[in-house]
Amino acid sequence: MATIKRLCRRILRPLESGALKFDDARVFQSTPEEYVASIAAHCPALQKIRGALYSGRYIAVFPGVLSSRIYLKQQNDFCQRQLEHYAEPLSALMWGLGAEHAAGALARAWRLLLKNHPHDSICGVSIDDVHTDMEARFAQVGEIAARVTDAALATLAANVDTGGSADALGAWVVFNPLLRARDALIEILADLSEHPVFCDGAGQVLPHQRGTRGEWLVAMKLPACGYASVIASPFGAKQSPTDFLLRRARRSDHDGGLVSPRHRKRVYPRRRQRRRHARRNRQARRDHLSRARVF
């Protein structure tokens, strides 16, 4: 700040004293409005330029900024998703139910996020110190969004009745913050018996199978901006999950099928090509799973 003040004094003092005088020009301090008015008074024949002016002749254009410091773009996308898809809608839902709206925390998170959006910053073309500060802001935004989301989920889950049978192995509440109903594949990390049965709040058996990492994958429908209950019970006479997946595999055999329910690496015809594409889209699939929050 002191350096800027010294530079201003070095420029303004000659202007005020009249030291900057030339034979064919007069230099004085003015405003943008006075500058435009003085140009318009001469009625010059100015060239009209249309378009976005994305040309190096008129403005600086940074090539390759979409891939420069790509980790900054990824952190920014994560923070925006956390705020837009979880913290904001869940906080608004809590406010509609009579709780206090987390306006202060959300406003602080957005201010921190917007500080990382100047074009030199988010494009990744500044010095390292600038981008180090950006990472610190992203971390703060993620922490605030997680705190607001977890508080809202805890309050909502505490007010949902998940009471079922006395021999239930566990109960979960799945929230859908989207404004539309959707089919979801829920990932449940829990140490359950070998063959539990997952049901919704109405007692309907939900399609499910064991994942490759020991998690349970449950398919269910979620209402718009609402929740659904998932209750795990010991394997009984309702329906065998293995039988269900085998029937589904037979129906899907013509277009590639499913992985065998016995968790072997057996695959159905034309599965090899699909597996190759699945490797490329694994991260996108994880993002899709994270849309529905399990509590």
- Sheet containing strand 197-200, edge to edge, reads 197-200, 226-233, 170-176, 293-294
Task: Looking at the structure, tell me whether residues 243 and 279 fall in a common domain.
Answer: yes
Residue 235 falls inside a structural domain: yes
More confident residue, 175 or 139: 139
Residue 28 domain boundaries? 2-41
Task: Looking at the structure, tell me whether residues 224 and 288 fall in a common domain.
Answer: yes
Residue 52 falls inside a structural domain: no
Residue 85 falls inside a structural domain: yes
Tens-digit pLDDT profile for residues 131-151: 999 999 999 999 999 999 999
Query: How many structural domains comprise the chain?
Result: 3
Beta carbons within 8 Å of 187's beta carbon, 6+ residues apart:
211, 215, 216, 217, 289, 294
Residue 32 falls inside a structural domain: yes
Task: Looking at the structure, tell me whether residues 175 and 235 fall in a common domain.
Answer: yes
Task: Looking at the structure, tell me whether residues 279 and 181 fall in a common domain.
Answer: yes
Tens-digit pLDDT profile for residues 216-247: 889 999 898 888 888 888 876 454 444 444 34
What global pTM score does this model have? 0.56
Structure tokens at 193: 């018996």
pLDDT higher than 80, residue 2: no
CA distance 171 to 200: 10
CB 193 within 8 A of CB 227: no
User: CB atoms < 10 A from the CB of 112, how many?
Assistant: 18
Tens-digit pLDDT profile for residues 176-222: 888 889 888 888 888 876 678 888 888 888 888 888 888 888 999 98
CATH number of the domain that residue 183 is part of = 2.60.40.1180
